[in-house]
Structure 1
Amino acid sequence: MEIVEAFLEVVGRDGPAAASSRAIAAELGVGAGALWHYFDSLDAVVAAACRRVLERTDARIASVTDGRRGLAAVDATLREILPLAKRTVDEAQVVVGFWGRLAVDRQFAGGRSDALDMWGARIQRHLAEAVDDGELVPDVPADCLAEVLLSIAVGQQVHAVLDAERADPQRQLALVHHCLMPWRPQATKMQNGCPAGSA
């Protein structure tokens, strides 16, 4: 819908704080009152925009993992969620920047939960492939590791909004690498659950 796209355009260009009903209407070249023929409130626009972001992310994940498996597919999946480039940073702004306002939106909350569950299951499946392909050791806790990796991705979305320095792309990818490293066949001896010498 054009209103949702206008909202996303304003957020991407000017930031979430600038995405008022007046700014969205100006982006469309219409009066602000015209928006409410389609949405009940700005919160409803935000919820629709967040759902659009999740749908686009899911479509990209499906596209980039087509024909890939194992750790290559895990990496491709996470790169579409982590805020590594302008597009995914803008998406993080939409999702995280209005989280407080959307906390009461049951429909949105369910949609996000469904997306996270689906992405987590996808990552877990690719981790199992990595075990089959010898990229990870057989006793890797794929379910827990998938949850940790997804938590990192979501957490980095928060950092992209609240603390841009901590959302540095190389740092984000290093966190993913660090989580996977102990479970690679060539990993060094573990000490208290961490690779030796990592402290």
Structure 2
Amino acid sequence: MPKVIDHDQRRREIVEVAKKLIAEGGFEAATMRSIVAAAGFANGALKHYFASKDEIIAATFESVLQATALRLSELDSNASPVEALRGFVTGAMPLEAHQITSARVLLVLWEHSVANPDLARRYRDLLTSWRAELTARIAAARGGGESEGSPAAGVLADEIISVTIGANVASLMHPVGELADRYRAYVDALMERIAG
């Protein structure tokens, strides 16, 4: 009886290998040859799952975006509006090693997405959904019937997104976790500004 292969699992394994290679050595480190070698596949086997490096990169980019979105969606639904906002912001900040690794992969892929309209669209879509979620959480945390579409909530959402992106970039230039206390202090001050 022939061995049954879970093709979706194999694709996920290839994407995880590509993430690891990108995190450790940048975009250039994730060649088809290095991916094949690190995954333990025969040379031609990769073509059964991805036709090109661009397909692997797109799948890797999507995987990181989905993991981030999933982490943010799994926040405690019973939390107060302020704690729900805090959880959302800290979920996007580089506070843990896995978040910093994701940031490293995204940073490499952001550069690649400039020349790839599909990757750029996926990232824009993520930022748009983050902004919408942030404005809703900010309005709820402020209470008083502020609308999700209020200009003030939008300005704060844009600030949080910009600080989060900057924090992720800055965290890559320091030992893992070195800036986490600074970022936690920012979140504390932000919550005080919004709810205090």
Q: Which runs of 5+ in 2 are unaligned?
A: 1-10
Is contact 2:94-2:168 (8 Å) kept? yes
Q: Distance in 1 between matches of 2:89 and 2:108?
A: 20
Is contact 2:131-2:158 (8 Å) kept? yes
Q: Which residue of 1 aligns with 2:26?
A: 16
Cα 1:53–1:133 change in 2 (3 A) is farther
Q: Which has the higher contact order (CA 8 A, sep 6+)?
A: 2
Q: Distance in 2 between matches of 1:158 and 1:88?
A: 11
2:26 maps to a residue whose letter is P
Is contact 2:100-2:168 (8 Å) kept? yes
Cα 1:49–1:69 change in 2 (3 A) is farther
Match of 1:58 among 69, 74, 89: 69
Deviations 1:13-63 (CA, angstroms, capped at 9, x unpaired): x34353332221122211344323433432332221111111111111111
Query: Residues 164-183 of structure 1 correspond to what in structure 2 (within 5 A)?
Result: 164=174, 168-183=179-194
Match of 2:99 among 72, 78, 88: 88
Is contact 1:61-1:80 (8 Å) kept? yes
Query: Aligned pairs, how many?
Result: 179
Q: Which runs of 5+ in 1 are unaligned?
A: 186-199
Deviating above 6 A after TM superposition, structure 1's stretches of 4 or more consecutive aligned residues are none
Cα 1:101–1:167 change in 2 (3 A) is farther
2:114 maps to a residue whose letter is A
Query: CA shift at 1:152, angstroms?
Result: 0.8
CA RMSD of aligned residues (A): 2.6
Give the TM-score normalised by structure 1.
0.77
Cα 1:147–1:69 change in 2 (3 A) is farther
Q: Distance in 2 between matches of 1:184 and 1:62?
A: 22
Q: Which residue of 2 aligns with 1:79?
A: 90
Q: Distance in 1 between matches of 2:19 and 2:78?
A: 31
Query: CA shift at 1:118, angstroms?
Result: 1.0
Give the TM-score normalised by structure 2.
0.78
Identical aligned pairs, as a percentage? 27
Q: Distance in 2 between matches of 1:77 and 1:121?
A: 12
Cα 1:151–1:66 change in 2 (3 A) is same
Query: Residues 141-180 of structure 1 correspond to what in structure 2 (within 5 A)?
Result: 141-161=152-172, 163-164=173-174, 168-180=179-191
Q: Quick check: 26-35 or 95-104, which moved more? A: 26-35
Match of 2:110 among 81, 90, 99: 99
Match of 1:118 among 120, 125, 129: 129
Cα 1:94–1:141 change in 2 (3 A) is same
